[in-house]
Amino acid sequence: MMPNLLFGDNQFFGINHMSEEKARAQALQFQDIKEVFKTLDAAYDEGIKTFMCTTHDRVEEICDHVRANPDRYHDYAFYPCMPYAHKYANAATEEGVIGAIKKFAPESGAWSAAVRSGVSLVGKDISGITRLLIDAEMQMFKGLRTPVVFLQNVVVDLLLGLGMTEPFAVFSDHVRTKYNAEPGFITMNLPLLLGVLDDLKIENPIVCSNINKLGFRMCGGVGAYQEALQGRRFRAIAMSVFASGAIPPSEAISWVCAQPNVEAIVFGASSRSNIRSTKGLVDQFWKGGNPVLA
């Protein structure tokens, strides 16, 4: 069962959708990886033991830290979100597309052998490439609990726009069979994605999207999202619930917790006091996230 509160990683990498100044301040605050560990420990001690994170290079340091302290983090879980697009974009700029794939390909397996020997990717099936990239991204989480693995919105929404749906099914099947995990999808267009996942027979999917009172970064508007929450069978994770600070915390959390079918909220924070405050508000307003449809 998914916990109702997940800790996100945007603050660690200087990402803020409203304020560049705040983003720069956070980037400076977390230059030292020990400050990241300190904040994760603050969340853990408040009872938030699931870290929903990208596959940024610095996350590998977090994974190493958790592996090195099994007694402290025996019940800790990661929800990896892949791919981290900037990592691939930078590698492709520096080394070319084939060079980038060589760099991130797993060290073993037929696909790695083909790529590393310079075999052309032209004509290779999309399912093989998809599985290759998933395996490359999952390497850093080896030996750690990863009960849910997400496909990032930068890929999800691009594929939606192109009308390419096969990779969603490949992602879902591979995550289930190889990693014994549930597939999750992150999107800025919840209503459209749900229709595609229905067509692919991906039942009761886990979908993370912006869900907030202002409709901030919610393609189609608040009404379309509320209609989906009311009438579609899926498990919703709400992100950007504060609309990057535009909604007062109590108002934001109470509104999201009142929506049907919300199973979890993911949030980021830079201090123990903010973590504790958000946890307290969720404890106060949480309705249980019971879906309308059985």
Q: Is 3.20.20.100 the CATH classification of the domain at 5-80+127-285?
A: yes
Q: For 217-246, what is the mean pLDDT?
A: 96
Question: Element (H or E) spanning 272, and its range?
Answer: helix 272-285
Cα dist from 62 to 1, 41, 273, 276, whole Å: 24, 11, 22, 22
Does residue 234 come out as left (phi exceeding 0), alpha (psi in the -120 to 50 range) or beta?
A: beta
For residue 111, what pLDDT is reported?
A: 47
For residue 92, what pLDDT is reported?
A: 47
Does residue 94 register a pLDDT over 80? no
Does residue 281 register a pLDDT over 60? yes
Per-residue pLDDT tens for 200-220? 999 999 999 999 999 999 999
Q: For 76-96, what is the mean pLDDT?
A: 73
For residue 235, what pLDDT is reported?
A: 98
Does residue 109 register a pLDDT over 80? no
Domain boundaries, the chain: 5-80+127-285
Nearest 5°: CA angle at 282, between 255 and 46?
Answer: 155
For residue 191, what pLDDT is reported?
A: 97
Nearest CA among 211, 208, 181 for reference residue 197: 208
Does residue 41 register a pLDDT over 50? yes
| Cα–Cα distance measured from residue 87 to residue 101, given in angstroms and rounded to the nearest whole number | 11
For residue 129, what pLDDT is reported?
A: 79
Cα dist from 84 to 54, 56, 278, whole Å: 6, 6, 27
Q: For 154-176, what is the mean pLDDT?
A: 95
For residue 125, what pLDDT is reported?
A: 62
- The fraction of the chain above a pLDDT of 70, given in percent, is 79
For residue 29, what pLDDT is reported?
A: 83
pTM summary value: 0.86
Nearest 5°: CA angle at 181, between 178 and 185?
Answer: 110
Q: What is the DSSP secondary-structure string of 79-148?
A: EEEE--HHHHHHHHHHHHHHHHHHHHS-SSSHHHHHHHTT---TT--HHHHHHHHHHHHHGGGTTS--SE
Name the residue type at position 36: V
pLDDT band at 105 (very low <50, low <70, confident <90, very high): low
For residue 240, what pLDDT is reported?
A: 96
| DSSP tag of 270 | S
Does residue 173 register a pLDDT over 70? yes
pLDDT band at 101 (very low <50, low <70, confident <90, very high): low
For residue 286, what pLDDT is reported?
A: 96
Are 133 and 83 in contact by the 8 Å Cβ rule? The answer is yes
Does residue 165 register a pLDDT over 80? yes
Q: Tokens at residue 159, please? A: 């594929």
Question: Residue ranges of the alpha helices (H) in 117-264?
Answer: 126-138, 153-162, 166-179, 190-199, 222-231, 249-257
- The fraction of the chain above a pLDDT of 90, given in percent, is 72
| Mean pLDDT over each residue of the chain, to the nearest integer | 87
Does residue 294 register a pLDDT over 80? no
